[in-house]
Every structure is written in structure tokens, then in C-alpha cells.
Amino acid sequence: MRIFVDADACPVVRQTENVARRHGIPVTLLCDTNHILQSDYCEVKVIGAGADAVDFALVNLCRAGDVVVTQDYGVAAMALGKRAYARPQDGGQYTDKHIDRLLAERHMAKKARRASHKHHLKGPRKRTEEDNEKFMESLERLVVEINGD
């Protein structure tokens, strides 16, 4: 098992690294050329700039049983299609059961924005330490479940 992180502007890189380090799981952080990441534990792969270049590289690298950390529903859907586990940064989980609904909602929201000529979204609320803890606990449970610890 490996953990792959869609690391462009990802707020839980260090939390992922901490959980992985405790369990001896290798982590690969993928980012585009607009981001600079460094880690003494994780492998960092810088992917050329381009629409969805990081997303496709991540999906090409992951395999069944790997864990993918991403906020992107499309990346999550492709990872699930490869029988990998996909986790958002909020500590929840993506499952085959509800990924289609999430993708449909995203599509409808984009369509509505296009029709209303509003192209800017309100940003997410400020991230808290509780959010980070919830993510770490969720990832820890998943790793223990997968490894059978």
C-alpha cells in the first residue's frame, strides 16, 4: 500500500505524513510546477503544468489497495474505479455508493454557474485544528483497517 496525495494546496500533507510515518507507509506527494513542496519522509513528484496533469499522473500511479487523498471528485472516482481508497481532506470518505451523486451535483452546480454568468465560488470556511484532527483520525482508522493492525 502507498498513499498518494493530490498535494496542490492540500492542507493535510503533514497530517498524512505523520500517520504514514507511524505505520511505515510510503507517501507520494504530487504537485504541479506552480507549487514547491519539500518533505524528509515523502517522495515529491512535480508534474508539468497543465489542466489536470497532476490528477492524471496520480490516477496512473495508484493501484488497488492504495490510498488517495484528494478534494477532487473526479480523481476520487477514478481512484475508486481502480479499487483504491479515496479520502477527502475533511476526514470523510468517498465510496462507490455516493461518488456518482457527488459528480452529478458538481456538474449541476457548474451548469448553474455558467447559466448565471457567475464563475467565482465562495471559498471554504477557515480550516481549524479540529478539522486536521478529524482527518488524521479518519486516515488512521483506514490504515489500521487495511493493514489489519
pLDDT tens digit sequence for 3-62: 999 998 899 999 999 999 999 999 999 999 888 899 999 999 999 877 789 999 999 999
Domain span at residue 101 reads: 3-147
Q: Is 12 helix (H, G, I), strand (E, B) or coil?
A: coil
Query: Model confidence over 63-82: pLDDT tens digits?
Result: 999 999 998 888 999 999 99
- Model confidence at 85, pLDDT cuts 50, 70, 90, reads very high
Q: Name the residue among 142, 7, 4, 20 with its Cα closest to residue 60.
A: 4
Total of domains in the chain: 1
pTM of the model: 0.85
Contacts of 100 (CB under 8 A, 6+ apart): 77
Residue type, 43: E
Contacts of 44 (CB under 8 A, 6+ apart): 7, 28, 29, 31, 37, 38
Q: Contact, 65 vs 41, CB < 8 A?
A: no
44-76 b/e with 16+ CB inside 10 Å = b? bbbbeeeeeebbebbbeebeeebbbbbbbbbbb
Region at 40 (left for phi over 0; alpha for psi -120 to 50; beta for the rest): alpha
E strand segments, 20-70: 27-32, 43-47, 67-69
